[in-house]
Amino acid sequence: MMTDGGPPVDLDAFRKTMREGGIEEFVEEILEEYVKEAPEIFARLNAAVVARDIQAIRAQAHALKSSSLSVCARRFSAMLGEMEAAAARGHLTASIAGFQRAQPEYDAVMAYLASRSS
How far, in Å, CA of 9 to CA of 112, rounded?
Answer: 7
pLDDT digits (tens, 9 = 90+) for 54-110: 999 999 999 999 999 999 999 999 999 999 999 999 999 999 999 999 999 999 999
Task: Identify the structural domains of the chain with CATH numbers, from first to last.
Answer: 11-115 (1.20.120.160)
User: Residues 59-71, buried b or exposed e (16+ Cβ, 10 A)?
Assistant: bbbbbbbebbeeb
- The answer to whether 99 and 56 have CB atoms below 8 angstroms apart is no
| pTM of the shown model | 0.91
pLDDT digits (tens, 9 = 90+) for 13-39: 999 999 999 999 999 999 999 999 999
Determine whether 36 is exposed, middle or buried from the number of CB atoms within 10 Å of its CB (0-12, 13-18, 19+).
exposed
Residue 41 backbone zone (phi > 0: left; psi -120 to 50: alpha; other: beta): alpha
